[in-house]
Amino acid sequence: MVHPAHVEDVAAGIAWVHEHIAEHGGDPKQVFLLGHSAGAHLVALVATAPAYLKAHKLTPADALAGAIAVDTASFDLSATRSRLVRQMITNAFGSDADTLAGVSPLAQARKNPGACPPLVIAVVKQRPKAVEESKALQAAVPGSKLIVEDYPDNGQLAAHGLIARDLPNMQSDLAKQLLKFVRGKMRP
């Protein structure tokens, strides 16, 4: 799937949840998103770029109580990257500079201050460039939290897999911090 289909699918899913969640006992004011890797990029993009939800008469701040982006390779798609990451970006978004700026959550957060729900950005320490961009995104979105997870003696790819393993492990520090974020943002 290539841009914009993947982020439009995420926005359509959010719109569907908003329309139908009450039928299932849920609250449309309590919707949180979580994504890992490429999913983390899409979660951050739909949370920072109002145009995708606007197509469904929603805004990120109204549609989402929060978003959790876990270990994506980049929040700034125009930045210098390894050959592998650059190829993944090109495959999903192309190489046009204006398009890449438009699908960079960091650029969108800076362009739309106050329009974003709070974010939790989790990243592995083994990816220094991703940590740098994660810090910048946290600074651009008020009320956001940064979690840097360290997996000593592991390379970037292994650490990327280990953070995914820790997501559903309710005993992991990562899962505990994410649940604390969600509970802290839930409205009574």
Tokens of residue 41, six digits: 């990029």
Higher pLDDT, 20 or 188: 20
**Per-chain mean pLDDT for the chain:** 92
Q: Which CATH superfamily is domain 5-185 in?
A: Alpha/Beta hydrolase fold, catalytic domain (3.40.50.1820)
Distance CA 35, CA 33 (A): 7
- For residue 81, pLDDT over 80 is answered with no
Boundaries of every domain in the chain: 5-185
Stretch 7-12: mean pLDDT, rounded? 95
Question: pTM for the full model?
Answer: 0.93
- For residue 188, pLDDT over 70 is answered with no
Position 113 scores a pLDDT of 79
pLDDT tens column, 16-54: 999 999 999 999 999 999 999 999 999 999 999 999 999
Whole-number CA gyration radius for the chain? 16
User: Other CB atoms closer than 10 Å to residue 64's CB: what's the count?
Assistant: 25
pLDDT-derived band at 80 (thresholds 50, 70, 90) equals: low
Q: Report yes or no: 110 and 140 within 8 Å, Cβ to Cβ.
A: yes
Stretch 84-97: mean pLDDT, rounded? 87
- For residue 187, pLDDT over 70 is answered with no
- For residue 186, pLDDT over 80 is answered with no
Sheet with 66-70: strands ordered across: 32-36, 66-70, 119-124, 145-149
Task: Please enumerate in sequence order all residues whose Cβ is within 8 A of that of 133, keeping only pairs 6 or more positions apart, or say none.
Answer: 74, 75, 76, 79, 106
Distance CA 47, CA 35 (A): 12
Among residues 74, 88, 82, which one has the least CA distance to residue 134? Answer: 74
Phi, psi (degrees; rounded to nearest 5) at 148: -110, 115
